[in-house]
Every structure is written in structure tokens, then in C-alpha cells.
């Protein structure tokens, strides 16, 4: 576990620079928002994601997260297809997601190419450096 300030980042996941965590199992991934991302966003009023079966394009939004601070695009760090949307998202139980960010994911997807995950932060050094920089901007 990497701890920066009040934020924890489990080492069994990869992280994108836009505060998504990715847990990989073969060519399948589970995607959620890390706690620092929720802190930056503030009080969440809405989370919308694409439906099951929809494609995800690397660098393009697969959903949005809305708060009093505005609308944040959830940009995919890979190409793939959404295979499952968490019912908590569909039921608009946003506090549950924010309270348990690593247990409460947004979507599951099938990757087009697992090598696309190579650019994500995986090591303690990478995660620590990035999280410290992000924390300094809060």
C-alpha cells in the first residue's frame, strides 16, 4: 500500500494520471476512481458511464462525473469493450463509491490489447511521485 497524505493506493492496481485505478485479470479489467480523484471532484451529484457492449477508446471519455466543481470526463486509458457496469453506479449510490473507492468500481471491460496498460503507473516509485505532485495541487 502506498500512502500519500490521507490517500491510499493499493499496489495491486495500476493508476492513470486522471485518477482512475485499473485492476487487471488477464485481458479483463475493473476500473474505478481513486480517493484523491474524489477529493479533487468534491461532492458527486452524478456519475454516468457508457452501457455494456459499448466500445472504449484510449484517451476518449467513457463517462462523466459531475460535482459542484463541474463535469469531469472519465477518459479511458485503453481500448476495449465495457462488459459490466456496477449496479451502484446505475442506482446512483455515489456516496458508497466515494466511501469505498477500491471495493466499489465503475465498470469492467475487456481489453483490445493488454500492452496498452504498459503506460500506466504500476511501481511504488511511480505512484508515489505522481500522488505527491497531485497532493501539492489540492
For 23-52, what is the mean pLDDT? Answer: 96
For 15-29, what is the mean pLDDT? Answer: 97
Q: Are 106 and 49 in contact (CB under 8 A)?
A: yes
For 21-31, what is the mean pLDDT? Answer: 98
CATH number for 26: 2.40.50.100
44-103 pLDDT per residue, tens: 999 999 999 999 999 999 999 999 889 999 999 999 999 999 999 989 888 888 889 999
Q: How many domains does the chain have?
A: 1
Number of Cβ within a 10 Å radius of residue 84? 14
Q: Is 69 exposed, middle or buried (0-12, 13-18, 19+ CB in 10 A)?
A: exposed
Q: Is 3 helix (H, G, I), strand (E, B) or coil?
A: strand
Task: Give the Cα separation of 53 and 46 in Å (integer).
Answer: 21
Residue 111 sits in which domain range? 2-136
Task: Give the Cα separation of 23 and 20 in Å (integer).
Answer: 10
Residue labelled with grid coordinates 471491460: 109
Q: Is 38 helix (H, G, I), strand (E, B) or coil?
A: helix
97-134 pLDDT per residue, tens: 888 999 999 999 999 999 999 999 999 999 999 999 99
Task: Give the Cα separation of 20 and 13 in Å (integer).
Answer: 10
User: 50: which DSSP letter?
Assistant: P
The DSSP bridge pattern shows strands 28-33 and 14-15 to be unpaired
Task: Give the Cα separation of 80 and 77 in Å (integer).
Answer: 10
Amino acid at each position: 500500500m502506498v500512502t500519500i497524505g490521507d490517500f491510499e493506493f493499493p499496489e495491486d492496481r495500476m493508476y492513470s494520471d486522471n485518477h482512475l485505478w485499473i485492476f487487471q485479470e488477464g485481458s479483463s479489467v475493473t476500473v474505478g476512481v481513486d480517493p484523491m480523484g474524489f477529493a479533487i471532484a468534491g461532492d458527486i451529484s452524478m456519475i454516468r458511464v457508457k452501457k455494456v457492449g459499448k466500445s472504449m477508446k484510449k484517451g476518449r471519455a467513457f463517462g462523466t462525473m459531475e460535482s459542484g466543481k463541474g463535469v469531469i470526463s472519465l477518459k479511458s486509458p485503453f481500448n476495449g469493450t465495457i462488459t459490466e457496469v456496477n449496479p451502484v453506479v446505475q442506482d446512483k449510490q455515489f456516496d458508497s463509491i466515494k466511501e469505498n473507492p477500491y471495493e466499489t468500481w465503475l465498470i469492467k471491460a475487456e481489453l483490445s490489447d493488454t500492452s496498452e496498460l504498459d503506460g500506466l503507473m504500476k511501481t511504488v516509485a511511480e505512484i508515489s511521485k505522481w500522488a505527491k505532485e497531485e497532493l501539492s495541487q489540492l
